[in-house]
Each structure stands twice: as C-alpha cells, then as structure tokens.
Structure 1
Amino acid sequence: MAGLVYFRKVFEDSEVVRYDFGDDPDSFSRRLTMKKAPRTSVADDDLVDYAFLKASRKINALHAERGHWPERGMSVS
C-alpha cells in the first residue's frame, strides 16, 4: 500500500506544536497536536489512522534530525 501525507505547522508555543495534514497540500483536512516534551501526538479529530501515524512519525523524525520542529514536509512510502 502506497501512502502520501503532507503537513504544515500552524501553531507553536513552549509546550505544543500543531500541524495541519492530509493528502492534498492545497487543502489540508486534519490537524494533529504534538506535545514537545514527551514528543507524543494526538489527532485533533481522535482518528488514529495510517495518515495520522505517517505524519506524526515523519514530524518526529525530522525533529530528531534537525533539532527543531519542521515548518512543513511530506512523507511518502
């Protein structure tokens, strides 16, 4: 199964980062909230599916690589 998800940071403070995400970079349909300290995420619509997990894992991977929360990105497999 191929998967593609785009994400864009929409909010950041000292505790959380929020990202819009979805399969269309021009029209994001969902949002996730990443808690910075434990680096755990929650789907704002409570739907924990493949797209959510893919976005969350990619955001965490980019943070680990770069040392900061990415402004935007995508994950494809």
Structure 2
Amino acid sequence: MERPPLSMLAQSELIDGLISRCVMQSGDVAGESILVIHRDDVDALVHLANRLRRLSYFEDKIRKMVMGG
C-alpha cells in the first residue's frame, strides 16, 4: 500500500534534514557532500518533485493568492 504524500511541514523538514548533512561543524556549507539517503526519503523526494512540477503550472496564481493580490 502506497503511503500518502508528506505534508508541507514534513517536506520542509525533510529538506532541512538533507541540508543539515551538508553543513560543516563551523556552520559553513560544504563545497561537496556525500549523503546516504534512505529509500523512504528518496520516495518522499520523488513525490515532492512531482508535486512541485504539477504546481509549477499554477505558480503565478498561487503567488497572487498567497500575497493577497
């Protein structure tokens, strides 16, 4: 059974988690990073990419709605 897509908050936390693995102890962003990404995270990233791709057609309308215009 396929899991439902992650909520927007869970998606942002997934991205934050990936970014945190690309930051050195000093806080600087690493020039290069090698990451181990678990299958569940890859699946979530695929769903996120697909959702963003579908939403991209409506980006201007969404921006206007969110900005109150």
- Into which bin does the TM-score normalised by the smaller protein fall? 0.3 to 0.5
Normalised TM-score (structure 2): 0.42
**Greater strand share, structure number:** 1
Normalised to the residue count of structure 1, the TM-score between the two structures is 0.38
Which has the larger helix fraction? 2
